[in-house]
Amino acid sequence: MRLSIPLALVGLSTTQLVCASLTDRAASDLPPYVLEYAPLVWLHSQETYMPSDIQQQLDHTRPNVNWTALEGVESPLALNNLDTLNSMGNTSVYLTSLEGIEADPEPAWFQGIRPDSQGRTENGTASIIVIADRGNGTVDAFYFYFYAFNKGGTVLGLEFGDHIGDWEHNMIRFVNGSPDAIWYSQHASGQAFTYAAVEKKDKRPYAYSAKGTHANYAIEGQHDHTIPGFNLPTGFLLDYTDRGILWDPVLNGYTYTYDETAAFQAVNSEDPVAWLDFNGRWGDDQPPNEPSVFGEAKNVAGPNGPKFKGLDRELVCPSKPCFVLPFRTFSVDATS
């Protein structure tokens, strides 16, 4: 279901907007608490690479395997037929940018859509919600955020980890309709907290999106990710977060259910579904002969999509061990 708030509701609080949208969809299959407790995302005040329209990524790329464009691709390539690429290369397919990751000047579409004063990405769908019912009163709601470009970090003057396409997410585990715990994705790892521990606006938890990398944190400040999941306040690999631009992903997104057969279904039949079964990557492959230092390169391969982000997880974390922290970790003033 694409969530869009009528202009007549502008001026209401974020919580009131969500509740109003729920009233409009009273007959839908969407559990009300999924939106009532949906995260709000603070983008960094100096962020260049904003949330991006998911379809736009297809408009500016061409499917490649081994840096060779595929022939016979359906045209136009769209979210409702993207899964057809699975039979043409499966996980080896990369949605490869027409301009290239080192294009100069940088393509404007890399920069996405700056949320407006209401927190909406106008004229673009940059987020989805995936609802997985685990049974016995437990429901996991995944809140995915899409960005066209990821700007990596800098260590000793060297830049690492740039890639086209970027999927990040929060996941809230609900027990009998109440939020119990929340996961924040951070690079190849992340952190889990009790719902009670995290900062909120009314019922809605905040996620702080790191400048350039979009890793999600529960606090603002600077975060070292040299040791995944530790979130130390200083170190070699630093992310920076602050209260810059507030994005409300639920104001314009798609919503799906996901079941034990690994099948997706749109809450509203108008929303495209096939793209969620795409097995390839949402950006360029790592360029051939890309120089690296200690195995880390400036330009790396784009990510795979939501279906690969642990939707079948048993714990709040996508893997073990899983520590659900009852407190937020420390931070220092954000600088960059």
Q: What residue spans define the domains of the chain?
A: 48-325
End-to-end CA distance of the chain: 38
Structure confidence at residue 294 (pLDDT): 66
Give DSSP secondary structure letters for 98-148. SS-TT-SSPPGGGG-----TTS--TT---EEEEEEEEETTEEEEEEEEEEE
Structure confidence at residue 236 (pLDDT): 64
In the 8-state DSSP scheme, what is residue 13? -
Longest dimension (CA), the chain: 56
- Quote the pTM value: 0.90
Measured CA to CA, the distance from residue 109 to residue 104 in angstroms comes to 13
Structure confidence at residue 69 (pLDDT): 98
Handedness of CA 159, 219, 141, 45 (dihedral sign): negative
Per-residue pLDDT of the chain (336 residues; tens, 9 = 90+): 554 433 333 334 444 444 444 334 333 568 999 999 999 999 999 999 999 999 999 999 999 999 999 999 999 999 999 999 999 999 999 999 999 999 999 999 999 999 999 999 999 999 999 999 999 999 999 999 999 999 998 776 778 899 999 999 999 999 999 999 999 999 989 999 999 999 999 999 999 999 999 999 999 999 987 766 667 676 667 899 999 999 999 999 999 999 989 999 999 888 999 999 999 999 999 999 888 876 789 999 999 999 999 999 999 999 999 999 998 765 433 333
SS3 of residue 212 by DSSP? coil
As given in the structure block, the two tokens for residue 332 are: 């220092």
Integer-rounded Cα radius of gyration of the chain: 19
